[in-house]
A and B are shown apart, each in its own frame.
Chain A
Amino acid sequence: MDDKYKFVEFLGLRFNVANDLSVLVSAVLVFILVFALSRKVTMRPGKAQNVLEWMIDFTNGIVKSAIPDGSGKQFNLYAFVLFLFIFVSNQLGLFFQLKVGGFTYVKSPTSNPLITMGLATVSLLISHYYAVKKFGFGGYLANYARPVKFLLPINLLEEFTNFLTLSLRLYGNIFAGEVLLALIGTVAKSLGAVTFVAAMPLAMVWQGFSVFIGAIQAYVFTTLSMVYISRKMEQE
């Protein structure tokens, strides 16, 4: 789209201020949410604690369905934070976009491929780390030639496709949502009051659908991360 971003150079690296600010806002929102829900932790849970425990049970269920044996427990926290962070990030751009002087400062951080690639990198690094930890480095490398040797190039290729599909699926969904929302916005402004009224229900419908997509994509990303981790940790 026609968004413009401010860039900052620091230690030879380029930082997109909009991305980083959005990530920060999402992280802070997630932290505030979780922090507020976990203030009075008691044996008999109150309303807030019940909500938090429901969310924890939900992400634990995702982990358990991908890694049925007990070894999945160590990924419970990762799945929980990942799910909440992506969910909040996806929704952030729907209700809160900050533009100052033509430059975007806050939007959905997941509508940028670098951010989703960063998240996918975390997931895949975890999967490789635990595979090496479980089989040793030799065993980990040998796993690429399983179940039969001639699949080695395909297995290697799969590592890259996993990374790309995991990150670009999330990015594509959220970015498309924002693009369409912006298009509806330009339609609304194009011909004055008539198009404004006509575009209003369209925008509402699409926003509702984007909330749904955001939730689904958070679920899909978390589930696939866990599936990749579990596939790395078992021998075919």
Chain B
Amino acid sequence: MAGLLVLGANQVALGDMLFILISFIVLALLVKHFAWGPVTKMMDARSEKITGDLDYADQERSRAEKLAKEREDALKNSRAEAVEIVNKAKESGETQEKSIVSAAHSEAEELRQRAKSDAAKAREDAMAGAQNDIANLSLEIASKVISKELNADDQKSLIDSYIKELTVNETK
């Protein structure tokens, strides 16, 4: 062993240095190809994936928050809308009710008026008919009683005046 430390030209196994140089380089290449490459690649991929996943989670959370807010707003809106619809329905019901009632009122009024006017007319007609009949009847009676042909017109006016007096008395 001591001989190896003496840097005598023939005794030193300088080939060993060459040997370790070559074997170390070959070992490094083999390790790189079979283990280092795939594993570091996977480690990089994993760190990339973790960063990506974190970013994605952040994105998703903000999106979910936005969605929840939107839904809440929509819910609030729909509640207001529902109240409005109910109010509108109530209003329209009220106006309809009013219009129906007023229409019924006016119709009833019309009916009443018509009935009133009909009754008045019938009474007038009856009165006129009765007047004529009474006039003719009394004229016939008179003519028969007096047996004298009286002037029908004079007679008639006479009777009319009578009757007028009669009706005036009657209404009194």
Contacts and interface: CB of A to CB of B under 8 A. Distances in A.
A118 B20 contact: yes
B42 to A, nearest CB: 5
B7 to A, nearest CB: 10
Nearest to A12: B15
A14 B14 contact: yes
Interface residues of A, number: 45
B42 A14 contact: no
Interface in A127-178: none
Contact of A3 (B1, B16, B27, B43): B1
Interface string B35-71: 1101110110110010000000000000000000000
B31 A77 contact: yes
A42 interface: yes
Chain B's interface size range is 20 to 34
A211 to B, nearest CB: 22
Contacts, number: 120
Given A34-B31, A114-B4, A122 B24 contact: yes
B19 A20 contact: yes
A77 B32 contact: yes
A131 B40 CA distance: 26
Contacts of A27: 23-24, 26-27
Interface stretch (A49-57, A190-198, A218-226, A227-235): A49-57
A185 interface: no
Given A27-B26, A53-B43, A114-B4, A37 B35 contact: yes
Interface string A1-32: 10100011010011110011001100100110
A113 interface: yes
B39 A52 contact: yes
Contact of B35 (A24, A38, A43, A45): A38
A119 B28 CA distance: 13
A35 B15 contact: no
B14 to A, nearest CB: 6
The majority secondary structure among interface residues of chain B is helix
B45 A43 contact: yes
Nearest to B27: A27
20 contacts: A14-B10, A15-B15, A16-B15, A20-B16, A20-B19, A24-B23, A30-B31, A31-B27, A41-B38, A41-B39, A56-B40, A81-B36, A114-B12, A114-B13, A114-B20, A115-B16, A117-B17, A118-B16, A118-B17, A119-B24
A115 B13 CA distance: 10
B30 interface: yes
Contact of A119 (B4, B20, B36, B38): B20
A85 interface: yes
A34 B13 contact: no
Contacts of A85: 24, 27
B18 interface: yes
A34 B49 CA distance: 25
A112 interface: yes
Contacts of A1: 1
Contacts of A41: 38-39, 42
B13 A80 contact: no
Contact of B19 (A15, A45, A81): A15
B20, B26, B45 — most chain A CB neighbours (10 Å): B20
A112 B45 contact: no
Nearest to A110: B20
A121 interface: yes
A109 interface: yes
Contacts of A24: 23
A31 B20 contact: no
Contact of A34 (B1, B12, B23, B35): B35
